[in-house]
Structure formats: C-alpha cells, structure tokens
A = this chain, B = another copy of it.
C-alpha cells in the first residue's frame, strides 16, 4: 500500500474507533490527520485535507489542545497558527486516559461511595448496599490503578502488566 492510502486508512480507522468511544468524530479525524503529518499544519490545510469547515476545525483543534494532544505554534513570526500532534503515542494515550478518568470515573466513585450507606432495613436494602459496595470497590481500585498508570513515565508498564496477568 502507498503512503497516501495508508494515511487515509489510518485516519479512517482512528476516527471510527474514536466515535465508538464517545469521541467527537471530527476531533478524532483531526487528531489522526496531525498524527500522520510529518510537519505542523495550518487551519486551511486541515480544512482541505479533511473537507471540513473553518469553524469546525477551529473548535476541535482547541479541544485537542485542551486535552494536551495538540500544540500550536506561529513560525516566521507571522500570525498564522500551525498545529502539531504530540507524536509520543504512549504519552498521548496517558493523557486521554487521565482526562476521562477525571471527568467520568472519579465522579462515579464519589456517588458510589455515598450509596453504600443508603438507609433501609429489609433484605432489599441490604442487597442494594452490597451491590454498591462491590461497585465502589471496583471503581475505586480501577481509578487508583489508572492514577498510577498516569504517573508512570515508562511505556514498559504494559508489558509488566501483561506478565502479571498470566
């Protein structure tokens, strides 16, 4: 397969994965596009490359910067902004994991923590509390494991992990 076809396939693949994980379609597209580019790209190049509007590029590129996956620069002292993806895949994965851990897992842990203590006497209440306890335990452990993962700079951590889980 040729390079251009390869890039196209990569973008498509990354995009479809992103959308099934609740990540905005265009955001995934732009991220893949920048990951696959060998140099920083400006807004017009992204618009042309992916056939999307200026407003759309602007909004999603800003999101990607918030996630820390993309950075902006203005070479030649000009005003034109160029965008570049962090090419360290492991680093990028860690950022995505951490972003979602914070916004989505952590609040759940908090809610479950409270729900373990719900009032009531009978078998039904007892069972509910038990369920909340085991959910809390799982969510909390997962959260902690992901925090550790985030702090760890070494990508070898995954191979360690897979050895442990034999």
Chain A interface residues (CB < 8 Å from chain B): 1-3, 5-7, 9-10, 13, 17, 19-22, 35-36, 38, 87, 89-90, 93, 100, 103-104, 107-108, 111-112, 114-115, 117-120, 123-125, 127-128, 131-132, 134-135, 138, 141-142, 144-145, 148-149, 152, 155, 157-162, 164-166
Q: Given A13-B111, A21-B21, A120-B3, answer yes or no on A90-B134 (Cβ-Cβ < 8 Å).
A: yes
- Given contacts A13-B112, A21-B21, could you give 16 more A-B pairs where the C-beta distance is less than 8 Å? A1-B115, A1-B117, A1-B118, A1-B119, A2-B118, A2-B119, A3-B118, A5-B118, A6-B115, A6-B128, A19-B22, A20-B100, A38-B123, A93-B138, A144-B162, A164-B164
